[in-house]
Amino acid sequence: MVQSAPVISVGNLAMGGRGKTPVVRLITRWLVEAGERPSILSRGYGRRTAEPGVVIVSDGSHVLADLDRSGDEPLMLARALPGAAVLVCDVRATAAALAERALGCTVHVLDDGFQHPIRRDVDIVLVAPDDLTARQLPFGRLREPVTALARAAAVVIDDGGASDEAHAATVREIARVVRKTRTHVKVTLFRARKALAREIESSSTEPAEVARSAAAFAGSGTVHTSSVVI
């Protein structure tokens, strides 16, 4: 089975959490509101019962798997997002194909997919400033070099409320490392800041455009766009 629907990936360069799950949740909610039937594809990290094949955590209407079979984050997403299917499988292309064939899904949101071999249409990558100077595994925490950001359609910078000057320095560093690989590349940059309000605006319902707009949210707060194009 091969998936044919668009794939929006939310991922990062470093090991560990970077606030991917809230971004996945918001993108998926946007897609549901836009009339799409999205699936969330996860490998179900931390689930206690690792089953072969695909586990359908939610079919979009009902939660079908418990915590042991799904893992905590897929189960949380399934409960929070009616209208979206949630599937767990190590081979996420298989899960995508099943979501399309059995559940009628029209677009996929790939949780932690930047290094995954599945075909992707939009890559959204979350970074912290110290990721830009970190070392690769096994000597550091990076899964791949920072120049891989050239593959991204959008980069969400989580700089913990750093000053505008520090944020500008991070933007310049991202531009510098991306240009090592590609001299002409469009990468949309967003800045995540913790706040009480959550807002997002978009004038398009195309999955790629929704993804770029929805990427303007990470963690729990309002996100402010910074330099738009590298």
CA 161 to chain CA centroid, nearest Å: 21
Residue carrying structure tokens 């559940």: 103
pLDDT number for residue 57:
97
Going from the C-alpha of 198 to that of each of 60, 124, 207, the distances in angstroms are 24, 19, 20
Which is nearest to 176 in space by CA: 227, 103, 102? Answer: 227
pTM beyond 0.85, yes or no: no
pLDDT number for residue 165:
82
Which is nearest to 54 in space by CA: 85, 77, 87, 76? Answer: 87
**pLDDT string in tens for the chain (230-residue length):** 667 899 999 998 888 766 788 889 988 998 998 899 999 999 887 788 878 899 999 999 999 999 999 999 999 999 999 999 999 998 999 999 999 999 999 999 998 888 877 888 888 888 888 888 888 888 878 888 888 888 888 888 877 777 778 877 888 888 887 777 765 555 666 666 543 223 223 323 344 444 444 433 333 333 333 433 33
Contact 111, 10 (CB under 8 A): yes
pLDDT number for residue 115:
81
User: Within a 10 A sphere around the Cβ of 127, how many other Cβ atoms?
Assistant: 22
Which is nearest to 106 in space by CA: 3, 215, 201? Answer: 3
